[in-house]
Amino acid sequence: MPELRKDPVIGRWVIIATERAKRPKDFKVEKEELPEGPCPFCEGNEAQTPPEVFAVRKSQSKSNGPGWDVRVVSSIAPLLQGKGKADLGRRGKGMYDLMNSIGAHEVIIETPEHIANIADLEEEQIARIIDCYIERYSQLEKDPRFKYVLMFKNYGRPAGGGALKHARSQLIATPVNPKRAKEELVGARKYFEYKERCVFCDIIKQELEQKERVIIDIDGIIAISPFASRFPFEVWILPKEHSCDFFAMKPEHRRDLAGVIKRIMQKLKVALDDPPYNYILHTAPFRRAKAGYWKTIDLDYHWHIEVMPRLTRVAGFEWGTGFYLNPTSPEETTKILRETKIDSR
């Protein structure tokens, strides 16, 4: 009989349909041949993007020219913008509330070479990308209008990744704590208030004891198939040591994290034939916010990365209920991903 499982952080119920279990070959991923024109994200084409806001560069190379390893530019179609001193303009309109779309929207170009999938980058390069995330966060934190930074990656068209086959992630700074982030922060706090322990630390402890959902466990970082996975082959990557803030990560853990990201992405690529996916960094709001409502956040929240291959369609049922139907159990996912052989460079 299928099981209904509850996510211990936000209380979302998921149907794990073990009876019609799907194996990797059962998922038909839309493949689309994309036209390969000149790529604005390749080294040498810097003039084709908006000016860079930051880059990891070789010494003596010049801004907006070649000679970079990772390059951050504003989005050409920004969802939110924070030019000059424009204020938030919070206001009402009858019973409705609205504000200006103040924020930042940047693209992190992850490699100067025309490589599509982060799975195919070297570990050192992934570590540089992480450094770049941390650098941008520390800059954006200075703008008092922003409350949260969301880092995410859309890979492949069904995941919203657009037509360009060049590895990149995106960053959005928002003037409010996004609903989805808040749900998790509130859920983790409720658990903390009741148990006086971090819910994510408890998850890690139970997973390390039970072992049936641990995909990778190296040094400071663990990758698991969450107990109440919404999607087939959903993976969470977490630091084993408690930390609410991705951007406060110790330098020695950045390399561990890069190694785990690389291995997970390679395993997904091999097991699922290069699937589209999204990943999202879940971290605490900006540090200064912690004084007020989020004052216990150092203790109760725990950063992590959620990787979601896009193998199934989300339809009316999921939209209407917030229930998810997952045709592959996380235990099965774990087994398959553990057994998936990859180059270990």
Encoded amino acid at 164, one letter: L
Cα angle 25, 29, 35; round to 5: 140
List 44, 51, 251, 322, residue binding a second copy (CB under 8 A): 322
With a CB cutoff of 8 Å and minimum separation 6, the contacts of 56 are 68, 69, 70, 71, 128, 131, 132
CA–CA dist 236, 232 (Å, integer): 12
Which two structure tokens, joined as six digits, stand for 241?
A: 């040591």
Establish if 6 lies at the interface with a second copy (CB under 8 A). yes
CA–CA dist 330, 318 (Å, integer): 19
Establish if 172 lies at the interface with a second copy (CB under 8 A). yes
Spell out, one character per residue from 68 to 97, where the chain touches a second copy: x when CB under 8 A holds, - when not. Answer: ---------x-xxx----x-------xxxx
Spell out, one character per residue from 20 to 59, where the chain touches a second copy: x when CB under 8 A holds, - when not. Answer: x---------------------------------------
Establish if 17 lies at the interface with a second copy (CB under 8 A). yes
With respect to a second copy, which residue has the nearer C-beta, 27 or 68? 27
**Is the Cβ–Cβ distance between 204 and 175 less than 8 Å?**
no
Q: Output the smallest distance, CB 187 to a second copy, in A.
A: 11
**Is the Cβ–Cβ distance between 240 and 220 less than 8 Å?**
yes
Q: Output the smallest distance, CB 87 to a second copy, in A.
A: 12
Establish if 262 lies at the interface with a second copy (CB under 8 A). no
Cα-to-chain-centroid distance, residue 237: 10
Q: Which stretch binds a second copy (CB under 8 A): 60-68, 154-162, 253-261, 263-271?
A: 154-162
Q: Output the smallest distance, CB 321 to a second copy, in A.
A: 3
With respect to a second copy, which residue has the nearer C-beta, 46 or 118? 118
List 34, 76, 99, 208, residue binding a second copy (CB under 8 A): 99
List 26, 32, 45, 98, residue binding a second copy (CB under 8 A): 98
Establish if 316 lies at the interface with a second copy (CB under 8 A). yes
List 85, 313, 341, 345, residue binding a second copy (CB under 8 A): 313
Establish if 158 lies at the interface with a second copy (CB under 8 A). yes
Establish if 201 lies at the interface with a second copy (CB under 8 A). no
With respect to a second copy, which residue has the nearer C-beta, 47 or 77? 77
With a CB cutoff of 8 Å and minimum separation 6, the contacts of 187 are 9, 10, 11, 199
Q: Which stretch binds a second copy (CB under 8 A): 21-29, 119-127, 200-208, 234-242?
A: 200-208
Establish if 326 lies at the interface with a second copy (CB under 8 A). no
Establish if 117 lies at the interface with a second copy (CB under 8 A). no
Q: Output the smallest distance, CB 6 to a second copy, in A.
A: 4
With respect to a second copy, which residue has the nearer C-beta, 40 or 178? 178
Establish if 174 lies at the interface with a second copy (CB under 8 A). yes
Which two structure tokens, joined as six digits, stand for 12?
A: 């979302």
With a CB cutoff of 8 Å and minimum separation 6, the contacts of 63 are 51, 52, 55, 57
Q: At what angle do helices 251-271 and 123-140 cross, to 10 degrees?
A: 120
CA–CA dist 169, 134 (Å, integer): 13
Look at residues 236, 233, 230 and name the one whose alpha carbon lies nearest to residue 324.
230
324-326 vs 13-16, strand pairing mode = parallel
List 25, 142, 179, 345, residue binding a second copy (CB under 8 A): 179
Q: What residues numbered 215-254 form the site for a second copy, per CB under 8 A? A: 227-228
**Is the Cβ–Cβ distance between 104 and 80 less than 8 Å?**
yes
Size of the site for a second copy (CB under 8 A): 72
The string of DSSP letters for 247-281 reads: GG--HHHHHHHHHHHHHHHHHHHHHTTS--EEEEE
Establish if 331 lies at the interface with a second copy (CB under 8 A). no
